[in-house]
Structure 1
């Protein structure tokens, strides 16, 4: 039986059984096993991996493993510049766009609130999410490891936190979203860009007290909802403030 030695680093250890965390361990190789197959067989979705070294040399997910290989697997690097090395994905996504699975509706809404194009439908099946991610070049957000292991998904994030606000902070920090955020520019319900609405036109469609108090409005052309800078707007701004760069 062929075996290889594996070592996973940083947060990738969270996906391993406790006995294998933060240490090297030997594992029997499946026949004609590629790095992607073995990494995921050990419990780590390939979307969480940024760099794989086999015997000290960088490789992609299709590298066939052989008896005696030493495999080091790394997550996204934040402090170390690895641009001279081969990452497992050829290109980053040009535009940060998301598709969230059925269990992350709250996070999807908060990402839209932050200005990030985020598709969500609680009836989305895994196959539909994978197809959307592949055809529209979207990052998959999920708490389902098996979904993130699908080969057609090239960019994804396993969401560790369980509460929506903490999930938002996690994604902001992991993907360094702060400077890309455009708060309150998308409809929270339709994911459609909002456009300014003249106060006179808004006045006929909002409560009289709102029309008399506010002068700045925006609207969604998909659903017709109207937004203004009321108490709900202020609460959303307060939620986002700690995540955004100081102005």
Structure 2
């Protein structure tokens, strides 16, 4: 197939500029390429994962990822909008899973615990999963992939994903809640923080042999994970985590 040289003009908006070198941020710039090539390929060649993109305009017309870029095209690329109706435009992907469910890469263990604490179905395999397996899980189980690795999000199997900018787990949690408008889905203490299994009430007598003496004496209400058997009660650890839940809900009211 004959390949022709072309030059297109690109402009990335809002937080998509986080992925660009400084000299390309918040400005229109040209980029040379060889035809034929899809707009998805060029967007990712410029550093932006396709999962971060919600709207693509080619010469003012809404297009999808398969659009073949032409010489002298003007391409505008936008992130998701939470307060703008984009339904008249070309849809780049199906809606995210409802209720929301996630798979996290190997460096987000604390965030996984926080999401499970709030009741979200969250797969976290610690260090047992490479990029290929994470992408496969996201695809096969229709999960949102959360990572700080933009290369992982560029895998074609990944439909829904988000690249976390911060290294701080609390900030990461805030970013995910905002990105996917999750506050209405928060149902704390429904999932095991250790394995993601469902929690259910358990009679104290049934687990008495597993409790420390002081726990037997001072606590009477317990939950147990239906998968791994982890036991939960309202001790000091509960109070610390409940403060996080309260802070999240207060932040929701401010937003």
Helix, strand or coil at the partner of 1:140: strand
SS in 1 for 2:190: coil
Match of 1:40 in 2: 44
Q: Which residue of 2 aligns with 1:93?
A: 97
Partners of 2:201 and 2:223 within 8 A in 1 = yes
Quick one: distance in 2 between partners of 1:242 and 1:230? 19
Long gaps (5+) in structure 2: none
Could you say which residue in structure 2 is the equivalent of 1:155?
160
Per-residue deviation, residues 127-171 of structure 1 (Å, max 9, x unmatched): 001111110001111111111000110100001110112211111
Report the Cα offset of residue 193 of structure 1: 0.5
Q: Are 1:32 and 1:64, in contact at CA under 8 Å, matched by a contact in 2?
A: yes
Q: Equivalent residue for 1:208?
A: 213
Distance 1:88 1:116 in 2: 25
User: Normalising by structure 1, what TM-score?
Assistant: 0.95
Secondary structure of the 1:11 match is helix
Partner of 1:13: 17
Select the residue among 186, 195, 204 that pairs with 1:199. 204
* Map of 2:35 onto structure 1: 31
Q: Give the 3-state SS of the residue equivalent to 2:16 in structure 1.
A: helix
8 Å contact from structure 1 (residues 52, 87) kept in 2: no
Number of corresponding residues: 246
- In 1, distance between residues paired with 2:219 and 2:62? 58
Name 2:181's counterpart in structure 1: 176
Kindly state the Cα deviation for residue 215 of structure 1 after the two structures are TM-superposed: 2.4
Cα contact 1:3–1:28 (8 A) shared by 2: yes
Match of 1:81 among 61, 80, 85: 85
The within-5 A match list for 1:95-244 is 95-121=99-125, 122-244=127-249
CA RMSD of aligned residues (A): 1.4
Q: TM-score under structure 2 normalisation?
A: 0.92
Secondary structure in structure 1 of the residue aligned to 2:47: coil
Take 2:211 and 2:238, find their aligned partners in 1: how far apart are those partners? 15
2:118 and 2:94 mapped to 1: Cα distance? 28
